[in-house]
Chain A
Amino acid sequence: MEITTLTRLKIELESFKLLVTANLIGAAMTLAFAISFGFTEIIPIFTGQMITQEQLPYLLVVISGFATAISWITRSAELMGEHDDIVQDLDVIIESGNHDSEGVIGIIVRSLAFYREKNEKINQLKWGGRITGTYLLITGFPQLIAFLTNGYSVISWYVLAQGFAVISSLVISLAAWYVPVIIKRFMDTWDARLSGLDDVNKKLDTILEGDE
């Protein structure tokens, strides 16, 4: 039974790690797009020139992209750090071959404690996905229009790179919209376990009371 539970734990913990990694990549891409999309437009600001009205939207895009990405990276990294400790301890149990129930229960208890403490932060990651999805759509759509209406007659590396950037932006935008769906599935699984704990706690309380 413990081996089945171990496998299950391993899959769940690794899946969550992948999810947080995807979030980190999303945040990094947002940062990259914020730089590539708006930075060239606001360079004059850094050379001491006045901001013109046309530059203002670019400035807003860069600032909001930076803020979203940095906050998202910080949250994801914090989650990743603590979660990684649990994954590493699980790996130690698996590698040692000593699959006793105490080690396995210890990982379950730690995972529950992690979820109880971090569920607000995990929930906020959903917003990170939505905001990034919207952000990349906003920045990607004008690029797509510009790319399609430019009428490139010769396929060059420059055109391919431009096309790749536009498609990446749109694909990542759609992926970012899907991240909250996966996070919700993760939260539903652990919320169900937490609500099941109410019964467990009652039974454990009865055992403790029985020993009065």
Chain B
Amino acid sequence: MKGKRTLYEIYWEILTFSRNQKTFTNIIQRCSLNSKIGQEHIGFLLEKGYLHRFEEEGQRYLKTTEKAKPFLEAFKDMYLELFNRGPQFKL
């Protein structure tokens, strides 16, 4: 994703994308993050328990946990409300 995102938007993207297990490389490519920044964000989400790291057939994967649900739900509700409540732009 291009453009300037907030920290929470990046967390939302990582967590949504990792609902199905993903590798670190998958995540940073999809979320347009460099390796260093990606490591910081993923490290934070692992620390929070929102992501779970595990190994399968010699490959390391990350997957969103149930603990991330309230954050994802709140994010969804608030963004939908924010978008729908204001005036609409149309020509």
Complex interface: chain B residues within 8 A of A189 (CB): 86-89
* A105 & B75 in contact (Cβ 8 Å cutoff): yes
User: What sequence of 0s and 1s flags, for each residue 1-27 of chain B, a beta carbon within 8 Å of any chain A beta carbon?
Assistant: 111111011001100100000000000
Contact of B84 with A by CB under 8 A: yes
A: interface residue count bin: 35 or more
* Smallest CB gap from A116: residue in B: B4
Interface secondary structure of B, over-half rule: helix
Query: Contacting B4 at CB < 8 Å: which of A1, A18, A106, A113?
Result: A113
* B70 & A207 in contact (Cβ 8 Å cutoff): yes
Contact of A69 with B by CB under 8 A: no
User: What sequence of 0s and 1s flags, for each residue 75-98 of chain A, a beta carbon within 8 Å of any chain B beta carbon?
Assistant: 000000010010000000000000
* B6 & A15 in contact (Cβ 8 Å cutoff): no
Complex interface: chain A residues within 8 A of B71 (CB): 204, 207-208, 211
Query: Contacting A200 at CB < 8 Å: which of B48, B50, B67, B79?
Result: B79
Count A-B pairs with CB separation below 8 Å: 111
Complex interface: chain B residues within 8 A of A196 (CB): 82, 85-86
Contact of B90 with A by CB under 8 A: yes
Query: Contacting A109 at CB < 8 Å: which of B1, B49, B74, B84?
Result: B1
Cα-based distance from A11 to B86 in the complex (angstroms): 14
* A105 & B12 in contact (Cβ 8 Å cutoff): yes
* B5 & A109 in contact (Cβ 8 Å cutoff): yes
Given contacts A4-B84, A8-B83, A108-B79, contact A203 B2 (CB under 8 A): no
Given contacts A15-B90, A16-B89, A18-B91, contact A108 B83 (CB under 8 A): yes
Complex interface: chain A residues within 8 A of B78 (CB): 200, 203-204
Cα-based distance from A196 to B74 in the complex (angstroms): 15
Complex interface: chain A residues within 8 A of B88 (CB): 8, 11-12, 189
* A105 & B48 in contact (Cβ 8 Å cutoff): no
Contact of A127 with B by CB under 8 A: no
Complex interface: chain B residues within 8 A of A101 (CB): 76, 80
Cα-based distance from A8 to B76 in the complex (angstroms): 16
**A175, chain B: closest CB distance, angstroms:** 12
Query: Contacting B9 at CB < 8 Å: which of A18, A109, A182?
Result: A109
A–B complex contacts, Cβ < 8 Å, 25 sampled:
A5-B80, A11-B90, A12-B88, A16-B89, A18-B91, A101-B80, A102-B76, A104-B80, A105-B75, A106-B13, A108-B80, A109-B9, A113-B1, A113-B3, A117-B2, A117-B4, A186-B89, A190-B89, A192-B87, A193-B86, A200-B8, A201-B6, A201-B8, A207-B71, A211-B48
User: Shortest 7 CB-CB distances between A and B: which pairs?
Assistant: A113-B3, A116-B4, A189-B89, A117-B3, A15-B91, A200-B78, A204-B8
